[in-house]
């Protein structure tokens, strides 16, 4: 029983870390999107 709980807890921690990292990478997704659009327009 404890073995399954450990595995589940480990997976939960991995997911939490993944979402935390994703949150840090996209703190301002709107600003990032605008910047990408500007770069794309200048490239044409």
Domain assignment of residue 18, given as a range: 2-43
The tens digit of pLDDT for each residue in 12-27 reads 888 888 877 777 666 6
The tens digit of pLDDT for each residue in 1-12 reads 688 888 888 898
The reported pLDDT for the residue numbered 39 is 74
More confident residue, 35 or 6: 6
Work out how many domains the chain is built from and give that number.
1
Cα 17 to Cα 6: distance, rounded to the nearest angstrom: 16
Residue 44: band (very low, low, confident or very high) from pLDDT cuts 50, 70, 90: low
Statement: residue 38 has pLDDT above 70? yes
The neighbour count for residue 4, using CB atoms within 10 Å, is 8
Q: What is the mean pLDDT of residues 19-39?
A: 71
Assess contact for 26 and 32: CB atoms under 8 A.
yes
């Amino acid at each position: 029983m404890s073995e399954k709980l450990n595995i589940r807890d480990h997976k939960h921690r991995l997911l939490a870390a993944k979402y935390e990292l994703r949150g840090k990478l996209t703190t301002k997704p709107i600003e990032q999107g605008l910047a990408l659009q500007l770069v794309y327009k200048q490239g044409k």
